[in-house]
Amino acid sequence: MLLSKDFLFGFATAAYQIEGSPAADNRTPSVWDTFTHDTQAHHIADNSSGDEATDHYKLWKEDIQLIKSYGANAYRFSVSWSRIIDFTGGAASNSDAQGQSQRDPPNKAGIQFYRNLIEELVKEGIAPCLTLFHWDSPQVLEDREFGDLVKHWITLNEPWCYASLGYGYGVHAPGRSSDRAKSPKGDSALEPYIVGHNLILAHAYAAKAYREEFAPTQGGTIGVTLDSVSYIPYDDTPESKAAAQRAYDARTGWFADPIYKGHYPASLHSVSNNALPSFTEEELAVVKGSSDFFGLNTYTSNLVRDGGSDPLNGKTKTTFVRPDGTELGMKSHVPWLQSYPEGFRLLLNYLWKTYQKPIFVTENGFPVKNENSIQPIEEAVHDTDRIEYFRGYTNALLEAVNKDGVDVRSYFAWSLLDNFEWADGYKTRFGVTYVDYKTMKRYPKDSVWFLKEWFEKHSSAH
């Protein structure tokens, strides 16, 4: 079974999770700097931050050589808005003589860092795939600075997570929630939907600007990356089947339906208690069709049945346990992720049939149970459970493409490096490269050689 000649294979990262150097070259704090440094609130499992992360800001050339040695032809990364925009002037300096608000100027040193990174990737034959917003804080600049080299653009990464985890559950920055034990401010019933609505608009107008101003001469594509679980009915009852669809609507359809179909899912209006804002006709004309592809981050599957009170989960109950008491698959280090390759194939088919857009798998990976405590490092790199996960999921992708006719055009493993895993801090490792956080030395794990061999075997370009 083969992949297309232009299939993108590589690894994914995010700026805050790997870069470190939070004050270098005029960088200013992001919401995640503020969130992680609020140590009294204990937002992060190990009270850590991304201040050092994996020191990628200093070690980026070494990391590019790793990517090259891993046989990748593409690399997905994000830019930090706190690094590319100069926010040091303050509000007073951002007004003209008439008091009108002005854009903050670019931070040339930060832009040069990404320019150097991108040029090095291109020199090594690795296609840069750039995410504009991976949970830092946005504006519009990259297309002008990097568009001559970057042909694959992603506007937003996982808007459901940003809206729900940041403004509903309060477990991600900026940590707003109705739960006053977590946050003094916030409205979990309303704010996620307002944030989500504006994220959709931000994506759509960014895509419009790129298509009109840059794509005609630069020839790139632009789209959004959404996260999705594979939602499988718990049993064959109509109630479980309806619940599985409702779960899709609340997670994926919330953003995908407006972008690809031009409207919110019908079930989401009732589940949200009509908290969804409305699009104007002018806005809908920009939103519908604003993504050239379906960017997909996916890790696991859930069995779904009716019940539950959480609107952000479609008012459903989800589990890994089948009616007969057996579990879906291999357990990982985090409670929300079990391996189930069959679910990945089902998900790819569902998205292809529902939205009829080429699918770019932009994240997929597995944290080995207790990997952080495995010593010595020479033992930790033998990550057999991660290999088993990748073997199942890459085979499911091949079957979806070759047997089911699904148009899948990329596979990016999460992640290139062990890194700062948001609320988990450094306790959870997803990387195909082991990072010794004391020395920042990198050690390739066995799983990366499995992935390299898989791509070499199945790429029709070889």
- Write down the pLDDT at residue 102: 74
For the cut 70, the answer to whether the pLDDT of residue 133 exceeds it is: yes
Angstrom distance (rounded) from CA 454 to CA 391: 9
Write out pLDDT tens, residues 175-197.
999 999 999 999 999 999 999 99
Angstrom distance (rounded) from CA 39 to CA 262: 42
CATH of 8-458, one of 2.60.120.560, 3.20.19.10, 3.40.605.10, 3.20.20.80: 3.20.20.80
- Write down the pLDDT at residue 136: 58
> Are residues 222 and 211 in contact, defined by beta-carbon separation less than 8 angstroms?
yes
Q: How confident is the model at residue 96 (pLDDT cuts 50, 70, 90)?
A: low
Percentage with pLDDT > 70 across the chain: 95
Angstrom distance (rounded) from CA 321 to CA 319: 5
- Among residues 363, 371, 388, 421, which one is catalytic? 363
The answer to whether the bond into 159 is cis (omega within 30° of 0) is no
113-117: average pLDDT = 97
For the cut 60, the answer to whether the pLDDT of residue 425 exceeds it is: yes
Angstrom distance (rounded) from CA 86 to CA 83: 7
- Write down the pLDDT at residue 93: 45
Write out pLDDT tens, residues 308-325.
999 999 999 999 999 999
158 is catalytic: yes
Angstrom distance (rounded) from CA 337 to CA 267: 26
Tell me, what DSSP letter sits at residue 104?
A: P
Full DSSP string of 183-220: -SS--TTTHHHHHHHHHHHHHHHHHHHHHHHTHHHH--
171-178: average pLDDT = 93
- Among residues 19, 158, 399, 421, which one is catalytic? 158
User: Between β-strands 441-444 and 221-227, what pairing exists: parallel, antiparallel or unpaired?
Assistant: unpaired
Three-state DSSP class for residue 182: coil
- Write down the pLDDT at residue 101: 57
- Write down the pLDDT at residue 461: 80
> Are residues 225 and 158 in contact, defined by beta-carbon separation less than 8 angstroms?
yes
Q: How confident is the model at residue 134 (pLDDT cuts 50, 70, 90)?
A: low
388-413: average pLDDT = 98
Map out the domains of the chain as residue ranges: 8-458
For the cut 80, the answer to whether the pLDDT of residue 100 exceeds it is: no
State the average pLDDT for the chain: 93
For the cut 70, the answer to whether the pLDDT of residue 92 exceeds it is: no
Write out pLDDT tens, residues 258-279.
999 999 999 999 999 999 999 9
Torsion of CA 384, 8, 354, 303, to 10 degrees: 10
For the cut 50, the answer to whether the pLDDT of residue 141 exceeds it is: no
For the cut 90, the answer to whether the pLDDT of residue 248 exceeds it is: yes
Write out pLDDT tens, residues 321-365.
999 999 999 999 999 999 999 999 999 999 999 999 999 999 999
For the cut 70, the answer to whether the pLDDT of residue 170 exceeds it is: yes
Sheet holding 230-233, edge to edge: 230-233, 301-306, 316-319
> Are residues 448 and 433 in contact, defined by beta-carbon separation less than 8 angstroms?
yes
Angstrom distance (rounded) from CA 130 to CA 77: 5
> Are residues 229 and 301 in contact, defined by beta-carbon separation less than 8 angstroms?
yes
Placement of tokens 């920042």 in the chain = 440
Q: How confident is the model at residue 33 (pLDDT cuts 50, 70, 90)?
A: confident
User: Between β-strands 301-306 and 316-319, what pairing exists: parallel, antiparallel or unpaired?
Assistant: antiparallel
Torsion of CA 5, 14, 206, 100, to 10 degrees: -160
Q: How confident is the model at residue 138 (pLDDT cuts 50, 70, 90)?
A: very low
Write out pLDDT tens, residues 196-229.
999 999 999 999 999 999 999 999 999 999 999 9
Angstrom distance (rounded) from CA 361 to CA 398: 12
